Amino acid sequence: MNQLYNYDRSYLKYFQINKYMRTNLLLLIFGFLITTTMIAQNTVTYPSFKIDGTLKNKYEYAPESNMSRFSIRNTRLGVKGDINSFSSYRAQVELSDEGKFKVLDLSGTITPVKGLSFTMGQTSIPLYNSYVVSPSDMMFANRAFLGKYFISTRDLGILAKYKFNVGVVPAGLEFGVYNGNAINDPVWKQNLSTGGRIELGSMKGLRFTAKAYDYQNNDSTHVLFYGADLRYEINNFKVETEIMKKDSKTDLYSDMLSYYVQSAYRFPIKSKFFDYVLPAVRWDAIDEQLDEKGFDTNRLTAGIGFGFKEERFSSIIRLDYEWYFINNSMSIFSKNPQMDADKLTVELLFTF
């Protein structure tokens, strides 16, 4: 009995020791898995690669002339990613811009310190806001006048950006030097084009920017663009306004002035097909005469969008109607009679 009792006590002691070891082993394995998962989540693999794109299809109808057309306004495909912790790349092509193929972005970016970056190659000029010229960010099917009729949004050159805080207010400075011959044309130049922008605030809340771009193409083409914009966004509401002036330093081009005010409110909905409804309204104007009679062309645009947004894909169906109020005929609308005519636009936009 004593031997059996001693055996039982020894077995019980052995069982308790192994139970303690198993518990610690399980805790060790569990801790290892958590640590490994956290490390994996915080580890960035270089180089990285991400594909993005935009597909913008439109139908337009001009009731006054009873004319209509279908068009593929934009079909953009791009790639971007990081080479390492301080450098990245961007490439984007336009497969169909009203039937034309274009190379848009071909650039590399170096970030030597936090907040400071240098982008070299074919990239944007520091003049436009993405929500005015980028198909995936625009509030309406058609761009505002100043985003369409002033100057190209990109050029070959180098762009420096510096982000910092003024107290609690986010701020940014941009300065770029470019060939001054728009995209896809690496010409030799004596006088390069330069531009800069200052930004105060952020996209959520109040934001203000002022900018200027000195465009020198050749002896007969020298134009100075300058302007400012103000926007406010809170929750599902946003309102934006901008004014831009074009001063021609030669006789080849005329001066031009344009502005817009636009606003939208996003109503979340629960539907089988859509996640939100987006009514929007815009008033914009453009002037070439610069006289006391007012702006040559005014336009009122009212629209409503039905959209959904998922993790990596979003879509919106827009219905816009434009009313034109013309005081003086302008050469920029001479391509066809429908350019400055009242029209209905139905747009299907996919972004990913």
The Cα–Cα gap between 124 and 62 comes to 33
Q: Which of 78-92, 106-120, 288-302 has the weakest average pLDDT?
A: 288-302
User: What confidence tier does 39 reach under pLDDT thresholds 50, 70, 90?
Assistant: very low
pLDDT in tens, 236-290: 999 999 999 999 988 878 899 999 999 999 999 988 889 999 999 999 999 998 7
pLDDT of residue 44: 64
The pTM of the full predicted model, rounded to 2 decimals, is 0.83
Q: pLDDT tens across 168-192, in order?
A: 999 999 999 999 887 878 888 888 9
Nearest in space to 319 (alpha carbons), one of 60, 76, 53, 54: 60
CA-based end-to-end distance of the chain: 78
pLDDT digits (tens, 9 = 90+) for 60-106: 999 999 999 999 988 999 999 999 999 999 999 999 887 789 999 99
- In angstroms, rounded to a whole number, what is the distance separating the alpha carbons of residues 316 and 299? 23
Burial of 47 (0-12, 13-18, 19+ CB in 10 A): exposed
**Checking DSSP bridges between strand 256-265 and strand 276-287, what pairing results, if any?**
antiparallel
Element housing 322 (H / E):
strand 314-326
The Cα–Cα gap between 287 and 327 comes to: 10
| C-beta separation of 109 from 122 below 8 A | no
Distance CA 89, CA 123 (A): 11
Q: Which H/E stretch holds residue 205? A: strand 205-218
User: How many other CB atoms are found less than 10 A from the CB of residue 216?
Assistant: 20
Neighbours of 211 (CB within 10 A): 22
- Which element (helix H / strand E) includes 111? strand 100-113
